[in-house]
Amino acid sequence: MGMTMTQKILAAHAGKDSVKAGELIMANLDLVLGNDVTSPVAINEFNKAGCDCVFNREKIALVMDHFTPNKDIKAAEQTKRVRDFASAKGITNYFDVGDMGVEHALLPEKGLVVSGDLVIGADSHTCTYGALGAFSTGVGSTDMAAGMAYGKAWFKVPSAIKFNLTGKPAKWVSGKDVILHIIGKIGVDGALYKSMEFSGDGIKYLSMDDRFAICNMAIEAGAKNGIFPVDEVTLDYVRGHSSRQPVVYEADPDAEYDEVYDIDMSALTPTVAFPHLPSNTRVFGEFGDVKIDQVVIGSCTNGRYSDFVEAAKVLKGHKIHKDVRMLIIPATQKIFLQMIESGLTKLFIEAGAAVSTPTCGPCLGGHMGILASGERCVATTNRNFVGRMGHPNSEVYLASPAVAAASAVTGKISHPDEVYKEEN
């Protein structure tokens, strides 16, 4: 029986010719990731177990992104612990304020992940790197500690669901809309323990940023990982960001899938996930006026440069609604600089938005844009659980950067066409 793309990567890293769904394996890791929230717990476990050296100083990435720049004394103590650990162990890929970014935007940009890699991260959105044709998955801090010490992790080999993406995405339809549509269709546990393998002749229309957004939210369907085949778009990106050689794996033609879904991207429309689950999706026409108080564009899902270009396209020539606070959070320093150089930052500020240094901040209700009771936010982030961005009685609506920008102008959840002015 053939293997899926994910199974092939796992087999290669476990030193096996083949693996089967359900099999438990121990695999070698190419990269172990942690952030300022999960790493302190991992360091505790690492020390408690009497570990001394890390398995490879260059294959660990520690990114201080969740509560940074440090939001309070406790957060400052946490980053200090990680900083001291990185220094003591000689970890080369430690990223702090000034050169950090939101981890899942930063690592591909720094060339730390390439096609064919096996990556674990103590952050659930580690699944993002599947966009590069890598196997990557979120784990907890103890797994991270074991990964740092031994360069290994255990996995139950997943079965897969195949998503055959066809057609060119319709106007205003981004990677975010594609993944929200899919989660709305299969539910928040629709891919529990499984791989989501994307394929089809439509993927050539998806940019790397679209693919990052799609794989990023695989976890919101409960998946172990999301993964795209490697094509020229992937290889161009990898070559442009890393000196490491990508390894290309392909699913066998006779690989078995638990289910196959055909998604015609030309038939999709902008999609919004209403509170309090990412699967609670609606399209325009299915809801009335939803007044909002805040808009956030940023995060590991949609804080990349093309996301801000899309938002700016909608926002151009408009002012943000007087009752709306709009937060623009570029995911990395490089993206921030690009936005300054291209004039996007000026456009956002002149429209009335606040532009912030990179941080996960409001996405997880950490800092930099917490909601009060009863307030509503349209966010390009990835979760809208109860209390996710602040008070348990606040609400988060997940959408694309274009929808978020349009909503910032009107003060209610809006289709980009309501706002966009065609340039002559």
Per CB under 8 A, the segment of 3-11, 106-114, 141-149, 286-294 that binds other proteins is: 141-149
DSSP state letter for 217: G
Question: Which 401-420 positions form the footprint of other proteins (CB under 8 A)?
Answer: none
Q: Which is nearer to other proteins, 23 or 231 (CB)?
A: 23
> Least distance in Å: CB of 222 to other proteins?
6
Q: Any idea which residue has 């359900």 for tokens? A: 22
Q: Quick one: 218 or 324, whose CB is closer to other proteins?
A: 218
Stretch that binds other proteins, among 137-145, 174-182, 313-321, 342-350 (CB under 8 A): 137-145
Report the 10 Å Cβ neighbour count for 296: 28
372 binds other proteins (CB under 8 A): no
Residue 153: CB minimum distance to other proteins, A: 9
Q: Hey, which residues between 236 and 275 contact other proteins (CB under 8 A)?
A: none
- The length of the chain in residues reads 424
Instruction: Please say which residue, 2 or 15, places its beta carbon nearer to other proteins.
Output: 15
- CB 179 within 8 Å of CB 217: yes
Binding piece for other proteins, criterion CB under 8 A, among 161-169, 173-181, 185-193, 258-266: 185-193
The sign one gets for the Cα dihedral 40, 45, 50, 53 is negative
Report, in Å, the least distance between residue 44 CB and other proteins.
Answer: 7
CA nearest neighbour of 173 among 284, 41, 330: 284
Residues in 289-348 that interact with other proteins by CB under 8 A: none
* Assigned token pair, 202: 């439509």
CB proximity list for 72: less than 8 A, separation 6 or greater: none
Interatomic CA distance for residues 363 and 66, integer angstroms: 9
Residue position matching structure tokens 């797994």: 143
Query: Which of 5, 21, 139, 215: binder of other proteins (CB under 8 A)?
Result: 139
Residues in region 154-183 near other proteins by CB under 8 A: 154
Q: Based on CB atoms, which residue is closest to other proteins, 122 or 182?
A: 122
In this complex, which beta carbon is closest to other proteins, that of residue 96 or of residue 231?
96
Name the minimum Å distance from CB 175 to other proteins: 21
Alpha carbons 261 and 264: distance in angstroms, whole number: 10
Residues 108-127 touching other proteins, rule: CB under 8 A, are 121-124, 126
CB 418 within 8 A of CB 405: no
For residue 281, the SS3 value is: strand
Cα angle 178-180-181, degrees, rounded to a multiple of 5: 65
CA Rg, the chain, in Å?
Answer: 21
Total Cβ atoms within 10 A of residue 424: 3
Q: Does 188 bind other proteins (CB under 8 A)?
A: yes
Per-residue string for binding with other proteins, 76-95, x by CB under 8 A?
Answer: --x-----------------
When binding is defined by CB under 8 A, the residue of 1, 24, 260, 372 that contacts other proteins is: 24
Which of helix, strand or coil describes residue 37? coil
Within 8 A by CB and 6+ apart from 201, the residues are 166
Choice between 61 and 208, CB closer to other proteins: 61
CA 54, 58, 64, 65 dihedral sign is negative
Q: Interface with other proteins by CB under 8 A: which range of 40-48, 174-182, 267-275, 400-408?
A: 40-48
* 377 lies in the site for other proteins, by CB under 8 A: no
Q: How many Å apart are CA 378 and CA 376, to the nearest integer?
A: 7
Binders of other proteins among 42-81, rule CB under 8 A? 44-46, 48-51, 66-67, 71-72, 74-75, 78
Q: Does 138 bind other proteins (CB under 8 A)?
A: yes
Q: In what order do the strands lie in the sheet with 118-121?
A: 93-95, 60-63, 31-35, 118-121, 135-138
Instruction: Provide the binding-site residues for other proteins, judged by CB under 8 A.
Output: 24, 37-38, 40-41, 44-46, 48-51, 66-67, 71-72, 74-75, 78, 121-124, 126, 138-143, 145-146, 149-150, 152, 154, 188-189, 192-193, 219, 222, 224, 277, 364-366, 370, 383, 385-388, 392
